[in-house]
A and B are shown apart, each in its own frame.
Chain A
Amino acid sequence: MHKRVTFDTKLLPYLLLAPQLFVTIAFFIWPSAQAVWQSFVLEDAFGGNTQFLCSGLLADPLGGEAWQRCFRHFDRLLSDPGYWHSARLTLVFSLLVATVGLALALLLAVMADRTLRGATLYKTFLIWPYAVAPAVAGVLFGFMFNPRVGVLAYMLSGLGIEWNHQIDGTQALWLVILAACWNQISYNFIFFLAGLQSIPKSLIEAAAIDGAGPGRRFWTIIFPLLSPTGFFLLVVNIIYAFFGTFGIVDALTQGGPGQATEILVYKVYKDGFRGQDFSGSAAQSTILMMIVIALTVVQFRFIERRVHY
């Protein structure tokens, strides 16, 4: 079935791979390895007085104390209620960002896919927010919802809702979710729209002739045929919620009030670059990397099976 291309020399394929390998090693493998190494050493902020924590394992591979020392930074994290709070928060946050973002984008795409006047205009407007960088989106929402001068905060106060996301943690979390979804919807929208347009019209027309209503046509034909797009977007959105939302959180709430919006990726930054606790921050990065690897594997292994290509 597959076409096979064979190279005459053994060197050429490696040469062709080299640029990509270089980029991957220099910008992914090397920093990741550094982070892993950093999470097993003890040192001051300037890198002096460095001790490798796992050296005791060689002498005493079964000793509980040596293990505890080796995983000191991880132990410290996992016994910190603040870290668990942050982990739970990230779970809720990314589920909400992914589901709300995907559902709304799908709704908009289905609506914009119909033949109606000005459809191109709608599409253009719907795609625009993606051109806004997350940090800028954060600043925009911060302005609109500013408890003192924000337009939307003012309108909410007219509805009897006292808006102050600088004090109210729940409001802050909703605001961050809202901004994150708004920023990502365009991206999801483009993919859904392209997916919709690649579904053969004949299938839908045939179903319509057989008497299937719009709802039934959507759930039995369009939705299953869209599932590859949907699956791809799910993976991308989860990763976006884990990492890409950093700029929004930083610009809007800096993780506060309290720790109400301190998602894992923000905590990595805060402990590392604000607190100069590089090893603790590296340990968090390592854990975060494991989580995302695991999530992606799970998604490809179990969810992909149910996807119709």
Chain B
Amino acid sequence: MRTSLLASAAFAALIAALPAHAQKEIQFWHAMGGNLGDTVNQLAEEFNKSQSDYKIVPVYKGSYTETLTAAIAAFRARQNAHPHIVQVFEVGTATMMAAKGAIYPVYQLMADAKEPFDPKAYIGPVYGYYSTTDGKLLSMPFNSSTPVFYWNKEMFAKAGLDPEKPPTTWPELGEMGKKLVASGAKCGFTPQWQTWTMIENLGAWHNQPFATKQNGFGGLDIELKINDALRVKHIQTLADWGKEKVFVYGGREGKSTPMFNAGECAMHIASSGSAAGIQKALGVEKVGIGMMPYWPEFIAKPQNSIIGGATLWVLQGKPKDEYPGVAKFFTFLSKGEVQAKWHQETGYVPITLSAVEITEKSGFYKQFPGREVAVKQLTLNPPTENSKGLRIGNFVQIRDVMDEELESVWSGKKNAKQALDDAVTRGNKLLKDFAAANN
């Protein structure tokens, strides 16, 4: 009795495991929680409905680092339990690239699967960040954002400033900040993700290098260049402003955004991906979104900003006949309508130019003014080797180092020059370690 029950249970399980027409499952591990996760599930469902050979199975694996660690652990276990596609944040790019036996470069995947693929359809800095020096795409851009400038129009009006005129340069921002604080604002300006906005993007925006060898695109034996005149001036100015609350430090990552949302800070530099949340918190009409300010003494006109966010990497070691499904999914994701939907619902920048056109035609930018600024910043000028992107090994630790050194400036322990020099020394050591471990 018992054995027959077991046998029938096993049989039932077998039937359940065998789809009607041998649809191949493609595992897709991602780090998009909440609303973003829902949108990812919708995209997968749409793709699954559009054809019947493959089924994308999206699995939420937690934060970016948790997702990456989970994929690495699954891959290292060599039990074929690793995903076909894993979403990796931009700072993990060098780690992924160095793992040569583990990744399947996207340009090769598309060529092997004979999927049509046109690099020119993509937005320059989005494509460039994830491609080799000779323009071959390594991972599929998915969610990308760039820092933009936000200001509180109500607080501007209260300080006697023109609520429709944001500062265009940093000295202007300083003057406005003083007036805002004088009018009772608790804080003039606060940035989000300070290393990304105030060091990495600051460099690209002013066409200054972050590291040697084209910001690391040209090789592994590189050194940081972040103790240059521009950054020393910028960080020291912020520290000086800190004494009068024109600048207030609100913590790492996105921790400062609640200060802007609560009306404590009048000016904010934050990811374009935060736009939807900020407009919701303060009301669309109260928030202005504009381009980041620049230092006229370092550049006459700003260059272009760089992105943050994540891409989809394809892992090796799955059955060969499943990879065409991955390629088809990527083609689907690059479609103008799909990208436009993703852009409008999440606030991330679209990866293709056609998605921008579609969004423009739909009147979305009129309804949500300022949401077009991110793309404008990214495409302001053709990217140079300083503004294409960053390819930095051990980048997570290097960001931690920069955070730590910046915090020592904000707390008055070091001046900007000392802190940035120390960040370079500490960062270079991490770069050396990375080069040694990955050669």
Contact = CB atoms under 8 A, between A and B. Distances in A.
Interface of A: 42-49, 76, 80, 82, 148, 166-169, 254, 256-259, 270-271, 273-277, 279-280
Contacts of B234: none
B198 interface: no
Nearest to A166: B251
A279 B433 CA distance: 11
B397 A257 contact: no
A48 B101 contact: yes
B99 A82 contact: no
Q: Which of A254, A270, A274, A276 has the most CB of B within 10 A?
A: A276
B397 A275 contact: yes
Contacts of B429: 80
Interface of B: 65, 68-69, 72, 75-76, 92, 95, 98-102, 249-252, 255, 258-259, 262, 264, 394, 396-397, 400, 403-404, 407-408, 410-411, 426, 429, 433, 436-438
A279 B76 contact: no
Contacts of A45: 72, 95, 98-99
Contact of A46 (B65, B72, B407): B72
Given A46-B102, A148-B259, 20 more contacts: A44-B99, A44-B100, A44-B102, A44-B437, A45-B95, A76-B433, A148-B258, A148-B264, A166-B249, A166-B255, A167-B407, A167-B410, A256-B252, A256-B403, A257-B407, A257-B411, A273-B65, A273-B69, A275-B397, A280-B433
A279 B251 CA distance: 30
A254 B253 CA distance: 12
A236 B4 CA distance: 53
A44 B98 contact: yes
B432 to A, nearest CB: 10
Q: Which 6 A-B pairs have the closest CB atoms?
A: A46-B102, A46-B99, A48-B101, A47-B76, A275-B397, A166-B251
A44 B426 CA distance: 21
Contacts of B262: 148
A169 B407 CA distance: 10
Contacts of A76: 433
Nearest to A48: B101
Contacts of A276: 68-69, 72, 92, 95, 396
A46 B251 contact: no
Contacts of A273: 65, 69
Contacts of B72: 45-47, 276
Nearest to A80: B429
Nearest to A271: B397
12 contacts: A42-B437, A47-B76, A148-B259, A148-B264, A167-B410, A168-B411, A256-B252, A258-B404, A273-B65, A275-B400, A276-B95, A277-B437
